[in-house]
Amino acid sequence: MDPFFQLFTLAIPIIAIVGGITVAIVRLITQARLEELARRERIAAIERGVDPSKLPPLPGARAEIYAPEDGRLRRAQGMLIGALIVLAVGIGLGVMLFVFEPHEKHWIIGLIPTLVGCALLASCAIIWPRKS
């Protein structure tokens, strides 16, 4: 095999990993900057005499400090989406292995993600916010 293609095949995962980390860092810096600007704007409004309870909540990851119910709901919804995806992957994997190799017991491999999906669904049911 040509050395260029060997280098190219190694470069693809390295570029993907470095790109993913770079995107995460840029997103974190951008969110922090937006939070800082929102806090400055809020402080300026309070200094001008605006009632703080009439101001909109702060954007960003730490907004759930000010509205914990919204944060719990967002976390529960994210967990629900992840649970449904993992559950579907587990069922699909089990069915696929059963269809392609019906005389073997390889379909049992699909039980692992299926059970993980069920555990995530149970966790989602536990942390889902309830009305008092």
Q: What is the pTM of this model?
A: 0.50
Check residue 87 and give its pLDDT.
Answer: 93
Backbone angles phi, psi at 83, to 5 degrees: -65, -45
Check residue 128 and give its pLDDT.
Answer: 82
Mind listing the pLDDT tens digit of every residue in the chain (132 residues)? 677 777 777 888 888 888 889 999 999 999 889 889 988 988 898 899 888 888 877 776 454 454 555 677 888 888 899 999 999 999 999 999 899 888 888 888 889 999 999 999 998 888 887 776
Burial class (CB in 10 A: 0-12, 13-18, 19+), 106: middle
Residues near 115 by beta carbon (within 8 Å), at least 6 away in sequence: 90
Q: What are the boundaries of each domain within the chain?
A: 1-64, 67-132
CB of 95 closer than 8 Å to CB of 114? no
Check residue 25 and give its pLDDT.
Answer: 93
